Amino acid sequence: MSTVTCQLWNERDVDTPPLYLQGHVAPVAREIEGRDLAVRGALPPELDGRYFRNGPNPRPGEDPGHWFTGPGMLHGIRLEGGRARWYRNRWIRTAAFDGAPRYKPDGSPDPAVSPANTSVIRHGGRILALVETGLPYEVSPELDTLGPFDFGGRLTTAMTAHPKQDPATGDLHFFGYGAVPPYLTYHRATADGRLVESREVRVPGPTMMHDFAITEHHVIWLDLPVVFDPHLLGRTIPYRWDDAYRARLGVMEQRGDAPVRWYEVEPGYVFHIGNAREDPDGRIKLDAVRYNRDAFARTWGSIGGVGDSSGPRISPNDRPTLYCWILDPATGRAVEQPLDDRAIEFPTLNDAHVGRSSRYRYAVRDDGVVKYDLTLGSASRYDAGEGQAPGEAVFVPAADDRAEDAGWLLTIVSDRAGRGSELQVLDAADLRLTAAVPLPQRVPAGFHGAWLPQP
């Protein structure tokens, strides 16, 4: 198999292409397959399943105008018995892939026209590719597109790319947000995949809510000052920072119809949650990667949105960092503080601890992976090497589940110059590189992955 690096982007008679069409972010032009891949080191024999990674991948010659909007492409690696059986990549054949208009006449996204380009999960026996502006698309274990999935007609909104599965009940909690009322709708599906609850959650405007959190008894909402702006339609993703929109976190009981309790917080934006949990005094503790206004502007600008990504940093805090909020029902107030000052993204954890007390977080920085010990208040780091860009580190628990951090981290690491990629397997306890699988094709920087153990 030959490696395709999509040099055609630099051959167009235009100015320098945007960052999302260059280097390790640039799309690939072909779907390929490679079998019996070479392995450096030793793959843990108990890794029996598939690692899938989703991300936008514009078709050859297309510029979607923003990194977030290209059609989705899944990359998959099958691991079994200490071997890497195959790699393959496939576009997700959605209505958006076929060129259907993504927005309705009123300017709101059409959930039926989904690029399905952000994450991938397995729930209720189905593998679903997700994006927050549209319906899920079901795919096969071999990455073939099976079609849109709307829970038997019961899902009438878009579905977040970050649903949360309760580790005790197996219920899948998720939501859809929109540019027109209802701005936010909560959904819950049972462990076997039946959508059994949908209810509106009232927020004052069309906020862009990328992620949320759950605890054992509550749902945590992020009502933050990035909002829909119809004047941006046709130019970029139609969302922008709005200083007039209040920043709030909401706590909603999972059962019953009690009103959401809102807590005012300092203005900021969150793409990705670490985790949330309840303490013995009824307080909610939430951690996430937080952007202040300047950090959001730089990031949004660099990936194709409205903002300034050039020039020096405005302040030392102009970076996305791990942050903590404590929501106290006794006082009705939020206490908040940074947990670290290094720039990170894509926080992950052992999913058996979602919504519960959890000690460890894993996150990605420019050239490595960081492991946080929230009990000790310490951090350790894996260095992927100069010029290497790791993707989200997905936690896979060890079979004996002897400790919260007993297991492995799977991450696709790509050369920033666009020369190649490999799947790396790290020991989650000490961040030691256990094995690496060079891939037969460069994998563009993307978003989120999942480990799907063999049934």
SS3 363: strand
Under-70 pLDDT residues of the chain: 1-15, 107, 305-317
Which one, of 73, 25, 5, lies nearest residue 449 by Cα?
73
CA–centroid distance for 324 within its chain: 19
- The beta strands (E) that lie in 81-225 are given as 83-91, 119-123, 126-130, 137-139, 145-148, 164-165, 172-177, 184-189, 195-200, 213-214, 218-223
Query: What pLDDT is stored for residue 12 in this prediction?
Result: 34
Phi-psi region of 174 (alpha: psi -120 to 50; beta: other; left: phi over 0): beta
Give CA separation, 217 vs 49, 176, 222, 261, 274, in Å. 32, 20, 17, 14, 17
Helix segments in 96-187, DSSP class H: none
Q: Which domains does the chain have, with CATH numbers?
A: 7-453 (2.130.10.10)
Q: What are phi and psi of 168, to 5 degrees?
A: -90, -45
Q: Which helix (H) or strand (E) holds 294?
A: helix 293-302
Residue type, 443: V
Residue type, 2: S
Q: Determine the Cα–Cα distance for residues 35 and 374; give it in Å rounded to an integer.
A: 40
Residue type, 287: D
Tracing tokens 């998959």 back to the chain, one arrives at: 76
Q: Which residues pair with 372 in a beta bridge?
A: 361, 379
DSSP string for 406-436: -EEEEEEEEETTSS-EEEEEEETTT--EEEE
SS3 77: strand
- Strand 449-453 relative to strand 49-56: parallel, antiparallel, unpaired? antiparallel
Query: What pLDDT is stored for residue 317 in this prediction?
Result: 65
Query: Who contacts 412 (Cβ-Cβ below 8 Å, separation ≥6)?
Result: 53, 75, 390, 391, 421, 422, 423, 424, 439, 443, 446, 449
Q: Determine the Cα–Cα distance for residues 129 and 75; give it in Å rounded to an integer.
A: 12
Residue type, 263: Y
Q: Which residues pair with 323 in a beta bridge?
A: 288, 338
Residue type, 98: D
Predicted model pTM: 0.93
Burial of 83 by CB count in 10 Å (0-12 exposed, 13-18 middle, 19+ buried)? middle
SS3 379: strand
Query: How many degrees, rounded to 5, is the angle at CA 64 between CA 60 and CA 65?
Result: 135
Q: Determine the Cα–Cα distance for residues 359 and 144; give it in Å rounded to an integer.
A: 37
Which one, of 264, 263, 324, 322, lies nearest residue 289 by Cα?
322
Q: Determine the Cα–Cα distance for residues 340 and 351; give it in Å rounded to an integer.
A: 22
Torsion of CA 106, 111, 112, 118, to 10 degrees: 130
Give CA separation, 269 vs 32, 225, 319, 321, 361, in Å. 38, 7, 11, 11, 19
CA–centroid distance for 446 within its chain: 9
Cα radius of gyration rounded to whole Å, the chain: 21
Q: Which helix (H) or strand (E) holds 297?
A: helix 293-302
Query: What pLDDT is stored for residue 91 in this prediction?
Result: 98
* Residue 293, both tokens: 């206004």
Number of Cβ atoms within 10 Å of the Cβ of 59: 14
Tracing tokens 């999935």 back to the chain, one arrives at: 149
Q: Determine the Cα–Cα distance for residues 285 and 304; give it in Å rounded to an integer.
A: 33
